[in-house]
Amino acid sequence: MKPADLFVTGTDTAVGKTVVARLIVRSLVASGARVAVMKPVAAGSQMTPEGLRNEDALGLIAESNVALPYATVNPYCLAEPVSPHLAARAAGVSIELPPIEACFASLRERAEHVIVEGAGGWLAPLGERLFVADLAAALALPVVLVVGMRLGCLNHALLTAAAIHQRGLPLAGWVANHVDPDFARLPENVATLQLHLGMPPLASLGYGALAAGSSRLSPAALASLLQTCQRKQLT
């Protein structure tokens, strides 16, 4: 299996980025690969005896089979559960790309795959002039887009995909995550996105489908993702 790294973003916050990132990591680990994870910026963390820890970052670490210091996986761990730029300001921290790039390089030396999860949506601000999109571009990674399937998702997904392409980054795949149990015409909406994104979803997740944490991508979906990623990997 050739190395391939990915950046997981979403159409908004609370659309299942961590669920999908964990799904991808779990699937790769089950295939026998060495997989490292990264949550560069996390806002909303709890104090522990070891220091601030973020639940999403810990969830990713639980799926990974490459042991690394927490600070390498999550270099910017912020306490307040608000937009990252506001949480950083409250903590007196300035989020900068070089420390993140250094941690990513360290992860890449130790694993066949590094799965990086963003914060919020594609244009969530990390600083006054720094956005999640800048982070993905700095790491030069193909992107997996998590679409929260609810009213308005078509507009959000297509705008996000256009913004990803505008930054010169390839869309390696997308996942339809059913976040609203009352969302009408789910199959038709998935079909509309498949048409306009130019690819079928890697997975279409039912409401609460991953609560047990046991699901994986199908072998065909995983192979398709890796093949697409390897063709489009930016170096």
Query: Which residue's structure tokens are 């869309």?
Result: 171
Contact 37, 60 (CB under 8 A): yes
Contact 32, 39 (CB under 8 A): no
Which residues have C-beta within 8 Å of that of residue 61, sequence separation ≥ 6?
37, 70, 73
Angle between helices 17-30 and 55-63 (to 10 degrees): 10
Contact 40, 103 (CB under 8 A): yes
Query: Which residue's structure tokens are 């026998």?
Result: 32
d(CA 212, CA 23): 11
- 180-207 b/e with 16+ CB inside 10 Å = b? eeeeeebeebbeebeeebeebbbbbbee
Provide the annotated active-site residues: 39
Query: Phi-psi category of 152—alpha, beta or left, where left has phi over 0 and alpha has psi -120 to 50?
Result: left
Q: For 35, phi and psi rounded to 5 degrees?
A: -125, 120
Query: Which residue's structure tokens are 């912020």?
Result: 78
